[in-house]
């Protein structure tokens, strides 16, 4: 005699399976949002990869927050740090350096749509007493900000993890990633350049001198970061959208 389940129970099981599948697919999607397909094996048997940071105009601040505080919610506080330093030191952070008065720059960088750059990395390295290495994927080179203590890789954050490659997605967590390195760790620095070379060969970068932008206020089309900065200085508009 066949074992026939009640119709109500069959319907419930049919409803549960898609939900489980959705949750599994969401887990994979979440992992893919922070890890692309380009990974290198390091000399110590670990894996180095680019940790993707959401392109929401605060990616530099979020890189620093993730590396030092394991948090992607520090951008507002870190912007406040930059604004405070710029206002308090008009000698070193003058209009010739900033491209605008210290007060104007402090207000500019406090806005959530304003990008950070070399000035911010220099201030963070000094205030946090660390050495920050920014890896340039386009030119396969790096810039060092600060002198001592620790090293943070900021190329949308390069991270190392000890894992079997096939289990990489499952192993990623706040407890398994290594994001801070000794400034004497020359091997990791060279491996970061190796990763940058791989990403460059796969065109996995955004050329800020050539990408297409649109002003989010007046909708004027722009090309490159310099155009955007010039437009902002003339109009006061600081909300830009990258066009694809």
Residues 143, 54: Cα–Cα separation, whole Å: 22
Strand 151-154 with 131-136, pairing: parallel
**56-70, 98-112, 149-163: range with highest mean pLDDT:** 98-112
Architecture of domain 27-205 in CATH? Alpha-Beta Complex (3.90)
7 confidence band (pLDDT: 50, 70, 90): very low
| Rg for the chain, CA atoms, rounded | 22
Q: Domains of the chain: which residue ranges?
A: 27-205, 207-244
Residue 151: how many CA atoms within 13 Å on its side-chain side? 20
Closest CA to 151 of 90, 67, 212: 67
Q: What percent of the chain has pLDDT over 70?
A: 69
Reported as a pLDDT band with limits 50, 70 and 90, residue 22 is: very low
Report which DSSP code applies to 115.
P
Has this prediction a pTM greater than 0.85?
no
**Selection from 181, 203, 204, 188 nearest residue 40 by Cα:** 188
Distance separating alpha carbons of residues 100 and 121, to the nearest angstrom? 18
Residues listed for the chain = 244
On the question of pLDDT at 83 being above 80, the answer is yes
Strand order in the sheet with 131-136: 141-145, 131-136, 151-154, 180-181
User: What is the three-class DSSP state of 162?
Assistant: coil
Cβ-Cβ contacts under 8 Å for 24 (sequence gap 6 or more)? none
Residues in CB range of 189: below 8 A, 6 or more apart: 133, 142, 151
Tell me the pLDDT tens digit for each residue of 155-200: 444 555 544 444 544 555 556 778 888 888 899 889 999 999 998 9
């Amino acid at each position: 005699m066949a074992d026939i389940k009640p119709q109500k129970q069959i319907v419930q099981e049919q409803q549960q399976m898609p939900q489980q599948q959705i949750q599994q697919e969401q887990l994979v999607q979440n992992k893919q949002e922070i890890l692309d397909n380009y990974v290198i094996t390091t000399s110590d048997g670990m894996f180095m990869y680019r940790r993707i940071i959401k392109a929401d105009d605060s990616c530099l601040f979020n890189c620093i927050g993730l590396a030092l505080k394991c948090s992607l919610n520090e951008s507002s506080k870190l912007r406040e740090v930059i604004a405070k330093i710029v206002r308090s030191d008009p000698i070193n952070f003058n209009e010739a350096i900033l491209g605008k008065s210290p007060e104007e720059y402090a207000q500019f960088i406090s806005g959530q749509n304003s990008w950070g750059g070399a000035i911010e990395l220099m201030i963070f390295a000094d205030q946090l007493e660390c050495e920050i290495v920014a890896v340039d994927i386009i030119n396969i080179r790096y810039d060092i900000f600060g002198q001592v203590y620790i090293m943070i890789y900021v190329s949308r954050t390069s991270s190392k993890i000890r894992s079997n490659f096939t289990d990489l997605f499952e192993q990623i967590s706040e407890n398994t990633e290594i994001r801070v390195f000794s400034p004497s760790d020359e091997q990791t620095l060279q491996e970061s350049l190796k990763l940058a070379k791989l990403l460059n060969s796969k065109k996995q970068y955004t050329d800020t001198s050539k990408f297409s932008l649109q002003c989010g206020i007046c909708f004027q089309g722009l090309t490159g970061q310099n155009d955007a900065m010039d437009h902002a200085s003339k109009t006061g508009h600081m909300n830009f959208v990258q066009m694809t």
